Amino acid sequence: MANTDKFEMIAQMYDTPERIQIAKVASDAIRGYVKDAKDKKAIDFGCGTGLVGMNLLDEFHSVLFLDTSLNMIEQVKQKIADLNIQNADTLCFDFEQDALANVKADYIFMAQVLLHIPDVEVVLARLFDVLNEGGHVIIVDFNKNENVMSDLVHNGFDQAELTKMMTKIGYSDIQSETFYKGSNLFMGQDATMFVLDSQKAST
């Protein structure tokens, strides 16, 4: 993933009170779209230090924490060990570089991850292939924000444009809503966040 080097450097000091709070907001939004998943497998995609996925462990049979940053994954491994978590595993992998043939999931969720991915469509297509039939991809990210200027990240997303792209890939039953507004939330700018739920239709 783009910006992996940056995340490698900040892994050990990533869990600030602000990030912990936003992770709770994001995980609460994701939980609202998780239905009867106690027997389902989930992937916390671009998990970072696992702040979102750790909040959602009780919703699923198992959660795979996946990130391109080995240092971030090491932080997650430490939390799993410290808390003696039985239904979690980790994987360091880059979906931008390759597809993953031997992993399947019923739910894939990502919070503030898509904005770091240069080629969004390629990664969303590869995640579609990982989904079991009837599975869900749930995205939490920033709405497009013209005040954000950065060479490192997208300045958010237009929900309608993202829905159109995902429909082209094959996702269906897409629904999204803006659910949170905060000050100094995105690159020092006031911003809003949306949650988007999509499904891989059963054939």
Return the pLDDT at 10: 62
Question: Could you report the average pLDDT of every consecutive run of 10 residues in the chain (203 residues)?
Answer: 58 80 96 96 96 97 96 95 97 80 93 94 95 97 92 93 98 98 90 97 82
Tell which phi-psi region holds residue 134, choosing left (phi > 0), alpha (psi between -120 and 50) or beta: left
Task: Give the DSSP per-residue string, 122-186.
Answer: HHHHHHHHHEEEEEEEEEEEEBP-TT---SSS---B-HHHHHHHHHHHT-EEEEEEEEEEEEEEE
**Domains in the chain: how many in total?**
1
CA–CA gap between residue 107 and residue 42 (Å, rounded) = 5
Return the pLDDT at 192: 96
DSSP state for residue 75 in the 8-state scheme: H
The length of the chain in residues reads 203
Structure tokens at 175: 């629904």
Pairing of strands 88-92, 105-111: unpaired
Return the pLDDT at 172: 98
- Answer whether 171's CB lies under 8 Å from 199's CB: yes
Residue among 42, 143, 147 nearest 87 (CA): 42
CA–CA gap between residue 185 and residue 155 (Å, rounded) = 12
For residue 79, the enclosing domain spans 4-199
C-alpha pair distances (Å), 136 with each of 2, 131, 173, 199: 24, 7, 10, 4
Q: Which CATH number goes with the domain that contains 84?
A: 3.40.50.150
Return the pLDDT at 3: 56
Entry pTM: 0.92
Angle CA(169)–CA(104)–CA(193) in degrees, nearest 5?
55
